[in-house]
């Protein structure tokens, strides 16, 4: 149930705030959301596999992971909406960071 609620919130955030965005910015946000989704799958695998351990001290279980993901994504969308002048640079930075985490998880053997 919590997964569906968070997915619906993500979709509402996109619909509500992306009307005045340029196409490149929408693509960057979509790319970030894809990275966030992959990172959540990887984090879930880490939480349920004894070979790995989660470095984020806020995440103890799947519920914590979904809550942190929703809060983080909400903050990112809020910043992008509130500061359109810096939107593209901010999204580029968040994408670099997120995809760096995804790559790191992949390199240590986390699959989902």
Per-residue model confidence as pLDDT tens for the chain (112 residues): 566 666 666 665 655 556 789 999 999 999 999 999 999 999 999 999 999 989 889 899 999 999 999 999 999 999 999 999 999 999 999 999 999 999 999 999 998 7
Q: Please report whether residue 18 resides in a domain.
A: no
Q: Where are the alpha helices (DSSP H) in the chain?
A: 2-17, 23-47, 62-82, 87-107
Q: Please report whether residue 17 resides in a domain.
A: no
- CB of 38 closer than 8 Å to CB of 104: no
Q: Tokens for 34?
A: 């894809």
Range of 63's domain? 2-12+23-107
The structural domain count of the chain equals 1
- For the chain, give the number of residues: 112
CA distance 22 to 34: 19
Answer whether 0.95 is exceeded by the pTM: no
């Amino acid at each position: 149930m919590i997964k569906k609620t968070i997915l619906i919130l993500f979709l509402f955030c996109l619909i509500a705030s992306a009307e005045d965005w340029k196409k490149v910015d929408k693509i960057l946000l979509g790319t970030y959301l894809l990275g966030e989704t992959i990172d959540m799958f990887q984090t879930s695998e880490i939480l349920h596999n004894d070979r790995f351990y989660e470095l984020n001290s806020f995440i103890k279980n799947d519920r914590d992971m979904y809550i942190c993901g929703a809060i983080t994504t909400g903050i990112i969308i809020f910043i992008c909406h509130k500061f359109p002048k810096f939107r593209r640079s901010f999204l580029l930075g968040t994408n670099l960071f997120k995809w760096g985490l995804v790559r790191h998880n992949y390199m240590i053997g986390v699959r989902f």
